[in-house]
Structures are given as structure tokens and as C-alpha cells.
């Protein structure tokens, strides 16, 4: 008779817990594409192409995550977006 031996390996698993947040910008019927693009370039450090792509996503999908990172970095950026009359929140 043969004996089947089972070997269990011990594996360390590291989870990276981040406090990453995102600024979500929502579509509206008030702001122009140019205004949203200029605001994203100014507040989120987007290049013109990135800002245009985000603006198209906002228009067609209803919302877009335009910036991610630490809450303390995103808060003043989101405040600037809101001051520009654009709907946004940090999630």
C-alpha cells in the first residue's frame, strides 16, 4: 500500500491598503466642452488630449473619474472644479 502525503505550504500575502480616492465629474446641460476641458487642464494637470477624452466620457457616459490620489491632494482640486460651476465629488 502506498501512502499519499499532503504538503501544505505557508504563503505570506501582503495586501496593499490605500486611501486612494477619485474625483468624479458629472455631465450637465450647462457647461460647454471647452469650459470643462480648460478646467480639467488647469485643476487636474491634464494635457489637452486627456482633458478632451475625459470630457467626451463625461458627456456620453454621464460621469468620469478625472483624477485619483490622496484625499488631501484631491480636495482643493475638486473645490476648484466646483467653483467653475461643474458638478463633481470625491469618492
Q: Map out the domains of the chain with their CATH numbers.
A: 21-90 (3.30.1390.10)
For residues 73, 74, 77, 80, the Cα torsion angle rounded to the nearest 10 degrees is -130
Give pLDDT tens digits for 18-76.
Answer: 679 999 999 999 999 999 999 999 999 999 999 999 999 999 999 999 999 999 999 99
Q: Given this model, what pLDDT does residue 9 score?
A: 74
Beta strands, E only, the chain: 20-26, 63-70, 88-90
pTM of the model: 0.79
Contact 55, 40 (CB under 8 A): yes
What number of residues does the chain have? 91
Residue 14 Cα distances to 9, 11, 47, angstroms: 16, 10, 35
**CA atoms in the 13 A half-sphere facing the CB of 80:** 15
Amino acid at each position: 500500500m502506498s501512502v499519499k502525503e499532503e504538503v501544505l505550504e505557508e504563503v505570506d500575502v501582503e495586501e496593499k491598503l490605500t486611501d486612494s480616492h477619485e474625483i468624479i465629474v458629472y455631465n450637465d446641460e450647462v457647461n460647454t466642452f471647452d469650459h470643462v476641458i480648460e478646467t480639467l487642464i488647469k485643476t487636474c494637470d491634464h494635457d489637452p488630449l486627456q482633458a478632451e477624452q475625459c470630457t467626451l466620457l463625461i458627456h456620453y457616459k454621464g460621469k468620469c473619474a478625472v483624477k485619483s490620489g490622496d484625499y488631501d491632494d484631491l480636495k482643493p482640486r475638486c473645490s476648484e472644479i466646483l467653483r467653475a460651476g461643474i458638478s463633481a465629488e470625491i469618492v
